Structure 1
Amino acid sequence: MEHAHHAHAMRSWTDLPLLKTKAGGESRERVIVVPQNIVADAVDAYSNKLADENGRRRLPLDMAGAKLDKPASGGFHWLAAREEQGDEVRVASAVYYFGERGAENPTDMFITQKHELEIVPQPYPREHSRYRANEDWKFLVRFQGHPVVGQMVALETQNGTKSVWVSDAQGVVTVHLPDDFNAETDGKEIGGSRGMGMRGSDFVLAARRADGGKTYLTAFNAAYGKNAFDQRSIVMGLGFTLLGMLGAVPLLRQRRKKNDMPEQPEQTEQKEEA
């Protein structure tokens, strides 16, 4: 078991705890969950069908990671890994979606308390959607199930952006995901069913709180991509500009023809001689 611990304390682009997901071989019925920057011996998986016998599963870790098999109903899964050493508790969390039309509403899964300190999406992007750059996204910060006011939340992106946000009177923090893509970062493809083969990167949110002689660090990570709507707006704007220019061509031609016409000689009336 010691080997598994070391294997899943691997480092990544951030020092914050992460949960990475990848396809489990050729089958789409399984996903591999790999903890990073956290020493854990299992991954807890909560489905959007909590009342089901597989509503909560504890997935053991081996050298490859934890294996999450797709349930019959598919749907959303909240994934979490936990590490406790002395008076410090570290939690990594993420969401994975198995595409399935029969999936149930994941609201109960999100509102169910799973750890002391949590960062919960408000809401999470639904089917056929994802986090997009250059947009504001809301997250609830709660401790022991209650909203935390004035909690500092750190944002880090794989593209190098770092910023800090503060929760409001309802414990909600509004995070603006940056459009920090460039020629080098554009080449990365978002993995898993949530990415749908689109170009993107990863981000992580983290909060730290001391209470009762313990320090709690919780993190939530997900993928985000370029905002296609921004690009579409630019294309549409260029399209309307071109249409306007094309529409003006006939008018310009008519005006040019009118200006190029030779002047008619002035006609004078000739009086007949009596």
Structure 2
Amino acid sequence: MRLNRAFYDLVGASVLWGTIGIAVQEAYRVGANSFGIVLFRTLFSCLILLYGGNRKILLRWESAVMGIITGAFYEIYAFTIILDGAPLSSFLLYTAPLFVILFSFVLFREELSLRKVMGSVIVIVALYFDYLGTPTPVELMWGILSGMSYAALISFSKFLQLRGFSGWDVLSAQSVWSLPLSLVVILPFSRSVSLGSVAGGLYMAVFGTIIPYYLFYRGIKIMDSAIATVISALEPVVTTLLAYPLLGQILTPLQILSAALILASSIWLSVSR
């Protein structure tokens, strides 16, 4: 029963993350810009979580490290999207399960198995069907760095929960301590404040950060880290499926095959537990 709940938590997080691309595009239509959205996402998340979080636990060194890792991931991935474009950055981000397998073995002695490696490779191949290109060495380097930093965030979040942090504590640490780095990087590019950026940032804070990360951390506390990361790869599947009715984008046969492979891999790994 606990594994079933963890699976549903992880799927719920992936579904909410999958709405981000749609919400951001709608925010752009009313004058938002990417830096403004990230700025207000960070500010709103920090304010909400700081109000309801455990302030004592925020002063622990582990909380600061979580914030640094999160801030590094946000900035690396944002730069990767600009450099590589959305399809390639999404594809390389989900090299993360392979790194999670390594990190979780070192930190938690979680099982190294051919099954988990195969599931991770299936996801990477499936996402490549959406890209179908040849990245340059620089694009590849930054994309892999985004996957590594995402894997570090996932692995360290589980490490914190094993040390007594609740999912809400991890969320508070990641939002509060990533704020300084985010402000340093984002503020110079956020000269214009628009209603679209505020609305987009608020949506991202609640439905792209607080609720899905809470579900994800609750799920990964029970589920194997690598398997949880593979399940989270349902995010681009949800985005693709929502883009058809909401944005009028046509699904290609390769996109349908990609979605089917990721879904099959997630179910296979979960059931085989």
Fold-level match, TM-score > 0.5? no
Please classify the TM superposition score into its range, dividing by the shorter chain length. under 0.3
**Rg (Cα) greater in structure:** 1
TM-score, length basis structure 1: 0.23
Q: Which of 1 and 2 has higher RCO (CA within 8 Å, sep 6+)? A: 2
More strand, by proportion: 1
TM-score, length basis structure 2: 0.24
More helix, by proportion: 2
